[in-house]
Amino acid sequence: MAKRKIVKFGDDILRKKCRDVTDFDDRLWVLLDDMYETMTAANGVGLAAPQVGILKRAVVIDVGEGRIELINPVITMAKGKQREKEGCLSSPDLWGYVERPAKVKVTAKNRYGKEIKLEGTDLLARAFCHEIDHLNGIIFTDIADEMVEGDAD
């Protein structure tokens, strides 16, 4: 595994729509392993492939409940509302309040191409939405209703 450089806000690559992953091979596995290492080294809870400069629909998440990998994820259900302070590893000094669903269901592939279905509430639901937004070129500042200065809490 190796840490990769995290692309920062302002880079066009964060504004592009990512392609579906079609090859579930060792190249993908190296990418996922590198993304996880990069995310944990930066104390993040989620990272999307475009944040390391790769325009593929791949996401890693760990909100403290273990590692999650989502390939070609689709949100199949969104319910309720939550509004919390949110940040992004591509903008370490920027925070904002974003309204998200309180609960979401996601269908995706795992690293071997097998279909998986996951459900998240609270922080995990927020992470699913935030990271899947990245795959569509959307960053949280696009949808934040209030920006705040300084670090998280």
| Residues recognised as catalytic | 131
Residue of 130, 73, 78, 132 whose CA lies nearest to 104: 78
CB nearer to Co ion: give 108 or 135: 135
The residue whose Cβ lies closest to Co ion is 88
> In the bound complex, what is the minimum distance in angstroms from residue 34's beta carbon to Co ion?
17
Coarse DSSP helix, strand, coil percentages of the chain, rounded to the nearest 5 percent: 25, 35, 35
Cβ nearer to Co ion, comparing 109 with 126: 126
Binding site residues, Co ion, CB under 5 A? 88
User: Residue 71 and residue 56: Cα distance in Å, rounded?
Assistant: 9
Least separation in angstroms between residue 51's CB and Co ion is 6
Q: How far apart, in whole angstroms, are the C-alpha atoms of residue 71 and residue 137?
A: 16
Min dist CB 140 to Co ion, Å, is 6
CB of 32 or CB of 113, closer to Co ion:
32
Helix or strand run (H / E) with residue 83:
strand 82-88
